[in-house]
Structure 1
Amino acid sequence: MTKKTQKNPWLWIPSLYMTEGIPYIIIIVVSVIMYKKLGVSNSDIGLYTSLLYLPWVIKPIWSPIIDLIGTKRKWFLSMQFILSLVFLGVGLSTSGNNFFFLTLAFFWMGAFASATNDIASDGMYLIALKPAQQSFFVGLRGTFYRIGMITGQGLIVIIAGYLETSLGDDSKAWSYTMILVGALMLLLTLINYLSTPKVEEESKDVPKREASFGKVFSTFFTKKNIALSLAFVLLYRLGESQLVKMASPFLLEERLTGGLELSTSEVGFLYGTIGVVALLLGGILGGIAISRDGLGRWMIPMALSLNLPNLLYILLAYFQPESILFPGAVVVIEQFGYGFGFAAYMVFLIYLAEGLFKTSHYAIATGFMAMGMMLPGMLSGFVQEWLGYTGFFIWVGIAMIPALIMARSVKYPREFGKKTD
């Protein structure tokens, strides 16, 4: 039996999922920008920052602990506090000869804390909301997760760019920026402490109490059509997993070496202003569409929406426009397409987690999602250096073909996610 202290989901879902998105984007993407500005090579950036996905890949190993011990709320609040300390540590480690090793060490600690925060936060979402609410709010959830990411990739990067210019020292600029991120995480932890509902699972819940790690895992891997489902999870973002690692270096790279030579602040502006509006619109419309018509109606259109905008980077790399308007238009289309297309992916993951151990099974599913981002991303820097930016983006376009094939082949109830009330 579950005892719930009811709170309006509109009050806690936005802040909870912003607090998922910010540390993830700082660790996985903003670290790329930081290392690029601090002189690290593309191959090292692609390899080592992609390895930071590993905690999200292996988080199913410890997800049963969160399902069986304590409460989801205590877990995510603890992890969010740890993350605030981690970013403080990064900020204090950006100078000196060993900055790459030290900051990576802190990012690794942050990655484990962030992955654990994701497990507990997603568990709260699955436990506190009814199935119809889960489908309805998936757009809001995905949108604010993405807003958290844009806050990191947009506002935080704009601040870093401003500090680079005003201080004339990239190392100090990124030090102050990461300390600011730590303070922001501490503030969000406090907001989530005040806003999230208390969902306490009673110790007399026998199926939960008697569950073992083995049972949690075996019940996931014996689900119907599980091999096909996991292939879909791994391949749906095959193109994006490579694009996301090289998009920022491409925008920042000098024109002589194939980039657009935008400033750090300009890159932050593109993702943090017009990108946010497009993302909001796409994410909300995606959730509403599935809630109205069901997942089956929108799977293929959403797969196309997420993948096709990647082709626009081929034009950017080929023409290297001097005006910021062309890159700005690409960002708008990409962010809208991502917000709209990612809704189908998230609803499918919710479907895949159905059953007694929702929190653990969702963690396993998102672990495979992270693996699908990590492995191609590790090679992205080497592929880019081999093919150049134009050739690399052509390859990214080719990589969407398996995603579209799997979106057409994967099995699920066509009406899943449709509001029935």
Structure 2
Amino acid sequence: MSASSESPNSSGQARSTGGTRSPWRWVPTLYFLQGLPYVFVMSMSGVMYKNFGISNTDMTLFTGSLYLPWVIKPLWSPLVEMLATKRLWTVATQFVIAAALAGVALTLPLPDFFRLSIAALWVMAFVSASHDIAADGLYLLSLEKHEQAAFVGVRSTFYRLANIFCMGGLVTLADQLHKSEGGWVFAWQVVMALLAGSFLLVSLYHWWRLPRPAADRPLPRTERNWPMFLHIFAEFFRKPGLPVILGFLLLYRFPEAQLLKIAVPFLLDPIQVGGLGLTNTELGLVYGTVGLIALTLGGLLGGWAISRVGLKRALWPMVAAMHLPNLVFLAMAWSHPGSLWIVASALAVEQFGYGLGFTAFMMYMVLVSDGPHKTAHYSICTGFMALGMMIPGMWSGWLQDHLGYLNFFGWVLIATIPSVLMASLIRIPENFGRKEPAA
């Protein structure tokens, strides 16, 4: 591997700028891999358990609880700052996740598969949360502020391409294997093997290609102690306006936290119980492919818009884009459209808007985490975000079972009120995230 050239940034830290470390050569694959285990835990496992006949209440409760590692990951995020490099943490955890994904497949033929597979997913979730800490830290250390703004859409895009790969390609493959072989266990074991193999191949690429920024180094041994560990936490909780920051992190995605867990069951459940009655293949097309392509385009447009006008000017259009399109789920639950392309178009509108709105949220976390311990502080931000997703997601199945799909999606629209309120309270510096014109 050739040595990279380095140049100082505005804060005096050197960053890798060699041609072999172009962000286009590692940001897309890094966030593609970051998305794979998360998508499986949060979405794809729901399809799998629905195919195996698990109820909405049990499915959302147990898969929703798997958010916990992402919630509590800030508790060990200072260790990533203190021990080894973010690059080493990133690559090592990727190899472990590949092995864990293969391990999940081994539980599926067993009599107590639900409990055992959930236990395997817990292991994978903890390792994946650790990977996220290191990968986000490597991203923040390797790019300048305007590059971070420009590539926030790329991050979101390839994270969502992991969704397409899983929810579009692999879910469809599971359906086809089930039809040809006659068994969901065989189908999902093959899918899990392909997922693990894909993860391993990209992990090997990262071992070779990830950047080595000069700022990516562990703390000196003399600073690896409990006082420093606690100091990193204390710095975050001394940030000005902390109650508003935490409120925004917890509540901005409050409607989506509930909608996300119920969207797949709604699309798969038969019309007699209020769903749309799609097959896995149809789900893979409309939600896992068309919808996620729209989400990807929304994320790219959002990143470009912030780099052009700054987060402050882009915020309110993105908030509106995030929440208003949720109306399509209410409309589908009311009308039960018979056309697959009407369903696909409705989901494309909703997902495009979500892609725009989530870009603003990601950039706000970059703003909050700015400082000497940005890796740990960004991890704390994502931990609060995960808490805001976990609790509403866990109760969403129980709520839907009691309200029915139509009333549930009506409730989701009401749940946008806390999100809009918190967006009105945050403070964003003028031109934050905007790329400055060349001199």
What's the TM-score once normalised by structure 1's chain length? 0.96
Q: Within 5 Å, which residues of 2 pair with 1:257-296?
A: 257-296=273-312
Shift of 1:23: 0.9
Q: 1:101 aligns with which of 96, 115, 121?
A: 115
- Secondary structure in structure 2 of the residue aligned to 1:334: helix
Distance 2:374 2:318 in 1: 25
Distance 1:53 1:207, change over 3 A: same
- Could you tell me which of 27, 33, 51 is aligned with 2:65? 51
* Other-structure match for 1:413: 429
My pick for the range that moved more, 70-79 or 11-20, is: 70-79
**Counterpart contact for 1:2–1:202, Cα < 8 Å:** no
CA distance in 1, matches of 2:219, 2:192: 44
How far 1:379 sits from its partner (Å)? 0.2
SS in 2 for 1:411: coil
Matches within 5 A, 1:166-245: 166-199=180-213, 201-202=216-217, 212-245=228-261
Q: 1:292 to 1:166 in 2, by over 3 A?
A: same
- The yes-or-no answer on 1:388 pairing with 2:398 is no
Q: 1:208 deviation in Å?
A: 6.3
Which runs of no fewer than 5 residues in structure 2 stay unpaired?
Answer: 1-12
Secondary structure of 2:208's counterpart equals helix
CA contact (8 A) 1:90 1:179 kept: no
The answer for unaligned runs of 5 or more in structure 1 is none
**Conserved in 2, the CA contact under 8 Å of 1:123 and 1:358?**
yes
- In structure 2, relative to structure 1, the CA distance for the partners of 1:272 and 1:12 (3 Å cut) is same
For residues 191 and 324 of structure 1, the distance between their equivalents in structure 2, rounded to whole angstroms, comes to 38
| Match of residue 389, structure 2, among 373, 376, 387 | 373
Per-residue deviation, 1:152 = 1.6
Moved more, 95-104 or 13-22: 95-104
1:77 aligns with 2:91: yes
DSSP 3-state at the match of 1:309: helix
Please give the secondary structure, in 1, of the residue aligned with 2:295.
Answer: helix
2:85–2:217 CA contact under 8 A, matched in 1: no
- Letter of the 1:84 counterpart: A
Q: Give distance in 2, aligned partners of 1:273 and 1:171.
A: 24
1:303-382 to 2 correspondence within 5 Å? 303-382=319-398
Q: Are the aligned partners of 1:139 and 1:288 in contact in 2 as well (CA < 8 Å)?
A: yes
Distance 1:179 1:208 in 2: 42
Secondary structure at the residue paired with 1:92? helix
154-163 or 32-41: which moved more? 154-163
Give the match's secondary structure for 2:107: coil
CA offsets, 1:263-305, max 9 Å, x none?
A: 0111011134322432232111101111111111111111111
Distance 1:98 1:175 in 2: 16
Alpha-carbon distance, 1:75 to partner: 0.8
Instruction: Give me the whole-angstrom Cα distance separating, in 2, the residues matched to 1:92 and 1:411.
Output: 49
Q: Is contact 1:143-1:284 (8 Å) kept?
A: yes
Measure how far apart 1:162 and its partner are. Answer: 1.2
Cα drift, residue 222 of structure 1: 0.4
**Partner residue in 1 for 2:9:** none
Spell out, residue by residue over 1:334-380, the C-alpha distance to the aligned partner (whole angstroms, 9 max, x if none): 22112111110000000010111000000000000000100000100
Give the CA deviation at 1:328. Answer: 0.3
Q: Take 2:219 and 2:253, find their aligned partners in 1: how far apart are those partners?
A: 41
Stretch moving more, 356-365 or 303-312: 303-312
Distance 1:279 1:334 in 2: 8
- Whether the aligned pair in 2 keeps the contact of 1:229 and 1:411 (CA below 8 Å) is no
What is the root-mean-square deviation in Å for CA atoms of aligned residues?
Answer: 1.7
> Letter of the aligned partner of 2:405 in structure 1?
Y
The corresponding residue for 1:14 is 28
Aligned residues: 421
Q: 1:207 to 1:14 in 2, by over 3 A?
A: farther
Q: Which residue of 2 aligns with 1:64?
A: 78
Deviation at 1:184, TM superposition (A): 1.1
Question: Structure 1 residue 71: deviation in Å?
Answer: 0.8
Partner Cα separation in structure 1 for residue 337 and residue 219 of structure 2: 64
CA gap of 1:204–1:145, structure 2 versus 1, over 3 A, is closer
What is the TM-score of this pair, normalised by structure 2?
0.93
Task: Please list the CA deviations of residues 225-245 of structure 1 after superposition, one character each: whole Å capped at 9, or x if unmatched.
Answer: 011011011111111000110
Amino acid at match of 1:308: L
Instruction: State the alpha-carbon separation in 1 of the partners of residues 133 and 269 from structure 2.
Output: 36
Instruction: Give the secondary structure class of the aligned counterpart of 1:413.
Output: coil
Contact 2:310 2:432 in 1 (8 A): yes
Query: Alpha-carbon deviation of 1:5?
Result: 6.4
Structure 1 residues 215-224 or 181-190, which shifts more? 181-190
